[in-house]
Amino acid sequence: MSDRCLFSAPFTFLPPTVIEAYEELMTTDFREIWSRDELEPDSSLTVWLMNPGQNFIIDDGVLELYPSLKVLVTPSTGRNHISEAACKRRNLPVYSLLDDRETLDSITASSEFTFLLLLNALRRLDVGMAEVSAGRWRQRESLMRGRELAGKQVGLVGLGRIGRRLARYCRAFDADVAYYDPYVLTEDLPVWSLEEIFSQADAVCICCALTPETTGMISGDLLRRLKPEATLINSSRGEVVVEADLVEVLADRSDLRVGLDVLPGEVTNTHHESPLLEFHRSGQIVVTPHIAGASVESQSKAALGALNIIRNHFRSSINANLTAT
């Protein structure tokens, strides 16, 4: 095959078998890219497996650098780092891990990390480690005294791949679970409205996909309903929550325990300006740099899933050409 692939996602940890599988299929340039100024024009590039953590959007200007590009693949579920309109103008197919459900369903990293954020918010692990680093032991135990998950009511916003696993984890820890998801109906868990989730749950975990419908879905009206000392976790996308409303609520509610793995503006590299970071620096909330999916196993699986997608794309193209002739 004369096609060339740019693999711009993190790759140094990948097993040699994954690297070899790409190189067997086509010539592959493994080059980790995070910012737009690292891109180099390439008229021979036909396949691009991009870095889902990049801080720029693939728009018309970026696509002009690669005039021979035939297919884009992101080894993630989110696609907000890609301009769908720009790709449509180029008739450029775009795939994500949603196009390989078998591989996607085998990935557990994001669910595990979301659960870790939940436990940390309840048990104040980050505060305890900071106390030891400051040379103290249990002199300020009141700061580190947490809450048990057992017996708590957890509300899930979204019952997709991550939400389903979170439900199992929480119930294994003897917590009760309810969920809001207008696209999923199950008899295993009670269905609540968003208003019920935010007003009745001891812990709310936002784990839905970012879509036009969910953008800005969590506003001040919901956030102000949170119970005293409630926990709020967001591992979906920063744009699901109205940032200004969360800032306003946090300014008034120091009792809330908040863990965020995402901030608004990551794909435009403006997240560093988020006022939520001040609450993190002061120790009121915990912010992590969108690393829920960053594990060796998950990213290796994602790379192989993306390779399957590329193979299927070219196989379908060949079959389509044969049918046309």
- Cβ count near 222 (within 10 Å): 20
Distance from C-alpha of 299 to C-alpha of 305, rounded to nearest angstrom? 10
pLDDT at residue 316, rounded to an integer: 81
Beta strands 231-234 and 286-287, pairing class: unpaired
Average pLDDT by stretches of 10, the chain with 325 residues: 91 97 96 96 97 95 97 95 96 96 96 98 96 96 95 98 97 98 95 98 97 97 98 98 98 97 96 97 97 97 97 80 57
**Inter-axis angle of helices 16-25 and 296-324, nearest 10:** 20
Q: Which CATH number among 3.20.20.140, 3.40.50.720, 2.40.70.10, 3.40.50.1360 corresponds to the domain 4-105+295-324?
A: 3.40.50.720
- What is the predicted pLDDT for the residue at 220? 98
Contacts 24+ apart (CB under 8 A), 188-191: 189/159
With beta carbons less than 8 A apart as the criterion, state whether 207 and 168 touch.
Answer: no
Residue 194, pLDDT score: 98
CA 256, CA 137: separation in Å to the nearest integer? Answer: 24
Q: In what order do the strands lie in the sheet with 71-74?
A: 27-30, 4-7, 47-49, 71-74, 94-96
The pTM score is: 0.93
Domain 109-287 fold is Rossmann fold (3.40.50)
CATH 3.40.50.720 in the chain is located at 4-105+295-324, 109-287
- Quote the pLDDT of residue 2: 84
Burial class (CB within 10 angstroms; exposed 0-12, middle 13-18, buried 19+) of 50: buried
